[in-house]
Amino acid sequence: MNEVRPFTEQTVLVTGGSRGIGSAIAERFASVGMNVVIHYLQSHEKANETARSCMRHGANVLTVSADLRSREQVMRMRDKLESRGMMPDILVNNAGIAHYGLLSDVTEEEWDDVMQVNLKGTFLVTQQFMQPMIRQKYGRIINVSSVWGISGASCEVLYSTAKGGVNAFTKALAKELAPSGVTVNAVAPGAVDTEMMSGFDEQDRAAIADGIPAGRFGQPNEIASLVYFLALPESGYITGQIISPNGGWVT
């Protein structure tokens, strides 16, 4: 193994890091003083708000905007990080969009958009940033998926399909990169109290929570803690796993 920086001096890139689970993940790594790169698409102010929270921990923080559906923009993001000396040792593919509705009503444009953000974006970002990890014989790739990528959900066929693809991508790439000392895992949360749940009214939210054995939604910081654990050097024997923190909702 080539010499790798101590864990607290490493760099993490969190895609979709401006809000919700992504923001919580960025701040969790910042809490130990790591270098943190916060990716966003359009939420400039939210990204800056997360960056300020991270800097209060003493972390070195960089925000970067890119459309992950575009290879050219992903490559420009890589070049910017390389020029700043902030190539990630840890990549968290968190960016994603959801879709709720009957499959019979899904348009081709909606299908393409959900697949490109959730699946193609994960592919493009991983492809650009895994090579330095391979060269240094060390790295962590953590994909944020969904419980519906494991079990599927009625009226979420499109989203379930995209996240199921992320899970398959995770398992296959883990085998490919294991000889290089790079682990690849996925965290597949259940219902988490973020803006993604804002489309449900209070009655629907109560009904969902009632169906969860834990009796509540997950919190972003709980998901962030699991992501952080998978990134630790001592988690190096965990790879190819899809771990679902969902309060016992799906087992």
Contact at 8 Å (CB) between 32 and 138? no
Instruction: Please give the single-letter amino acid code of residue 181.
Output: G
Q: How far apart are CA 11 and CA 120, in angstroms?
A: 23
Q: Mind telling me the catalytic residues?
A: 159
Nearest to 89 by CA among 11, 181, 6: 11
How far is CA 235 from each of CA 70, 182, 232, rounded to the nearest angstrom?
32, 11, 5
* Residue 226: other Cβ atoms inside 10 A: 18
Q: How far apart are CA 88 and CA 72, in angstroms?
A: 19
Three-point CA angle 72, 119, 87, nearest 5°: 50
β strands within 66-153, DSSP E: 90-93, 139-144
Tokens standing for residue 72: 């050219």
Q: How many Å is the Cα radius of gyration of the chain? A: 17
Tokens standing for residue 5: 């920086």
